[in-house]
């Protein structure tokens, strides 16, 4: 039976439950999940692009698996991520501020982190709060660190989270792809481009 | 074993924080003759630390990080104590263990790395305080030595439990009165270097960290002997200036005073016969390498 629990933007509370413990399950190949509901992957591209185009500060958080050129595949993914970011910059309206903020490693970095230039999985909320990020996508972050971050973000912020996961996906994201590849990142970029101008940013909606 | 393994993806290079760019550009990963003299001219493998101002432990950390012969293939195992405040700032793989468990963790880790990477040299170095090494973790420390586990154990000996307010440790000197040990230590300081020798350590040194060149030498020796022969142990005096009532700038003098021949941290070294042989071979190779490098430099100048 499908769970009634939905993975929604927070702040949920100080210690939000792991979505898996609330009955949210991971998508099968060719599928994704939106708010914990399994959907065809194509639907997720549309929704992710819409969320990016709606956000005041749509942000991509590349992790160590793509920031460091471990192999050719990682370097290619990094290039695709850069393309997605450039596309996003072209497609947003004045007043929206896309960002590309790295998570270079997982060291706790106490007592100091510079939230303007990096995000740390142990306190991702600091970077989100500081930059007023309302929609973000994790990519190239090891699963256990991504889960930790996604839970903290859901617990303490109202940011919409997207996971472009190279493995089986993340229950704790509001939207999760699985089996991330260069092709999938490029397809998301194409979708953003296609939906350009069709989505009302929250910025102007607030003004209206 | 070089910087080939730590390249930043070109497409995202510009967004990497500068400390990571510096690590790739000017850290000494893969450099054959890396050592303390690189400090100040290259990116150190230790970022800011959160130890007290003037803490000799921070000096020790910097010298050790600069001297590890193979940092890109080294995993350090730490334990509870002041050292655990520094490990998050260190650009070498490290694991924090439960208080006292460090040598047990390192044993399993070293064995697992040998199985997982049979063709590659992987060094394991334990770095813990005296509480973790000689009190709470003495069982694990000794058992690892008895089993001849091939890794280095470094103990930062500050002669008490420093970051919990100054309780008595096994390494505290007899008669010393600490904030949380008002009656004074009733027993002698544990002679762990001698115990290490009798427990099967092949290279044992006790010294202070007042001389960076000495620290470089003993670290390299200890890691090489552990890699090839068996367990090694270094006991480094890193006084807690706060707990012994000194000022920030007095740590170095405290170490110099304590390493005099009649003092408790007079240089002490035990080397087994196989280790002596290995170190002599390594010294000969190093001499050859330096001569070749000198010759090359001479040819380049000509």
Domain contains A42: yes
The domain of A162 spans: 32-131+143-195
Reading the block at residue B185, the tokens are 């230590």
Domain contains A74: yes
Which of A61, A75, A98, A100 should we substitute to test contact with B (largest number of B Cβ atoms within 10 Å)? Answer: A75
Per-residue pLDDT reduced to its tens digit, A24-78: 999 999 999 999 999 999 999 999 999 999 999 999 999 999 999 999 999 999 9
Residue B125 sits at φ, ψ, to 5 deg, of -130, 120
- Helix/strand/coil for B98: coil
Under 8 Å between Cβ of B67 and B34: yes
Per-residue pLDDT reduced to its tens digit, A111-167: 678 999 999 999 999 999 999 999 999 999 999 999 999 999 999 999 999 999 999
- Residue B16, min C-alpha distance to chain A (Å): 6
Which of A102, A109, A117, A186 should we substitute to test contact with B (largest number of B Cβ atoms within 10 Å)? Answer: A102
Number of domains making up chain B: 1
Distance from C-alpha of A51 to C-alpha of B157, rounded to nearest angstrom = 55
Contacts with A185 from chain B: Cβ below 8 Å: none
Residue B201: give its domain's CATH number: 3.40.50.970
The domain of B118 spans: 29-271
Amino acid B236: pLDDT: 98
CA A144 centroid distance within chain: 15
- Rounded to two decimals, the pTM is 0.87
Domain contains B291: no
Under DSSP, the state recorded for B132 is I
Reading the block at residue B16, the tokens are 């990497």
Assign residue A35 a region: left if phi > 0, alpha if psi is -120 to 50, beta otherwise? left
Contacts with A102 from chain B: Cβ below 8 Å: 12, 15-17
Under 8 Å between Cβ of B258 and B264: yes
Domain contains B5: no
Q: If you average pLDDT over residues B1-5, what whole number do you get? A: 61
What mean pLDDT is reported for chain B?
94
Residue A64: give its domain's CATH number: 3.40.50
Under 8 Å between Cβ of B23 and B6: yes
Number of domains making up chain A: 1
Residue carrying the six token digits 């400390």? B19
Q: Which helix (H) or strand (E) holds B124?
A: strand B123-129
Structure confidence at residue B3 as a pLDDT band (50, 70, 90): low
Domain contains B278: no
Under 8 Å between Cβ of A87 and A189: yes
Domain contains B68: yes
Domain contains A125: yes
Contacts with A81 from chain B: Cβ below 8 Å: 11-12
The reply to whether residue B9 touches residue A75, judged by beta carbons under 8 angstroms, is yes
**Measured between CB atoms, does A62 come within 8 Å of chain B?**
yes
Amino acid A15: pLDDT: 85
Residue A138 sits at φ, ψ, to 5 deg, of -90, 135
Nearest to A107 by CA among B58, B93, B61: B93
Residues forming beta bridges with residue A160, ordered by sequence position: A135
Domain contains A3: no
Distance from C-alpha of A200 to C-alpha of A188, rounded to nearest angstrom = 18
Report H helices in B51-99.
Answer: 56-67
Buried b (16+ CB within 10 A) or exposed e, A34-63: bbbebbebeebbebbbbbbbbbbbbbbbbb
Q: If you average pLDDT over residues A173-196, what whole number do you get? A: 98
Per-residue pLDDT reduced to its tens digit, B149-179: 999 999 999 999 998 989 999 999 999 999 9
Structure confidence at residue A207 as a pLDDT band (50, 70, 90): very low
Contacts with B10 from chain A: Cβ below 8 Å: 69, 75, 78-79
């Amino acid at each position: 039976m499908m769970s009634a629990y939905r993975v929604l933007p927070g702040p949920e509370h100080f210690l939000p439950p792991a979505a898996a413990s609330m009955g949210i399950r991971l998508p099968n190949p060719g599928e994704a999940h939106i708010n914990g509901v399994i959907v065809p992957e194509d639907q997720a591209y549309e929704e992710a692009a819409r969320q990016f185009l709606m956000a005041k500060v749509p942000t991509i958080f590349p992790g160590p698996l793509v920031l460091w050129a471990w192999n050719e595949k990682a370097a290619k993914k990094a290039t695709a991520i850069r393309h997605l970011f450039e596309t996003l910059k072209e497609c947003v309206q004045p007043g929206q501020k896309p960002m590309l903020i790295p998570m270079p490693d997982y060291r706790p970095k106490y007592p100091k982190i510079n939230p303007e230039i990096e995000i740390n999985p142990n306190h991702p909320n600091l970077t989100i709060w500081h930059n007023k990020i309302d929609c973000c996508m994790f990519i190239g972050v090891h699963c256990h660190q991504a889960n930790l971050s996604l839970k903290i973000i859901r617990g303490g912020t109202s940011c919409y989270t997207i996971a472009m996961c190279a493995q089986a996906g993340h229950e704790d994201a509001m939207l999760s792809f699985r089996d991330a590849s260069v092709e999938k990142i490029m397809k998301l970029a194409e979708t953003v481009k296609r939906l350009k101008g069709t989505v009302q940013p929250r910025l102007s909606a607030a003004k209206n | 074993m070089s910087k080939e393994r730590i390249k930043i993806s070109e497409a995202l290079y510009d967004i990497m924080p500068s400390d990571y760019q510096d690590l790739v550009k000017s850290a000494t990963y893969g450099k054959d003759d890396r050592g303390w003299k690189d400090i100040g001219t290259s990116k150190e493998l230790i970022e800011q630390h959160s130890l007290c101002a003037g803490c000799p432990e921070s000096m020790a950390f910097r010298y050790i990080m600069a001297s590890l012969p193979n940092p890109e293939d080294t995993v350090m195992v730490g334990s509870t104590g002041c050292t655990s405040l520094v490990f998050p700032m260190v650009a070498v793989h490290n694991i924090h263990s439960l208080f006292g468990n460090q040598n047990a963790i390192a044993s399993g880790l070293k064995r697992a790395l040998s199985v997982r990477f049979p063709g590659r040299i992987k060094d394991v170095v334990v770095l813990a305080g005296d509480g973790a090494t000689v009190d709470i973790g003495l069982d694990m420390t000794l058992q690892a030595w008895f089993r001849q586990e091939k890794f280095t154990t470094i103990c930062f000996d500050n002669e008490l439990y420093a970051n919990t307010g100054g309780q008595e440790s096994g390494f505290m000197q007899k008669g010393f009165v600490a904030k949380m040990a008002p009656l004074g230590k009733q027993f002698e300081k544990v002679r762990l270097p001698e115990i290490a020798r009798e427990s099967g350590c092949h290279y044992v040194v006790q010294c202070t960290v007042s001389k960076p060149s000495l620290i470089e030498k003993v670290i390299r020796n200890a890691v090489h002997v552990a890699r090839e022969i068996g367990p090694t142990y270094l006991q480094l005096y890193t006084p807690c200036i706060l707990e012994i009532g000194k000022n920030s700038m007095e740590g170095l003098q405290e170490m110099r005073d304590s390493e005099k021949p009649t003092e408790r941290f007079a240089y002490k070294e035990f080397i087994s016969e196989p280790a002596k042989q290995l170190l002599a071979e390594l010294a000969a190779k190093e001499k050859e390498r330096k001569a070749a490098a000198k010759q090359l430099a001479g040819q380049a100048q000509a």
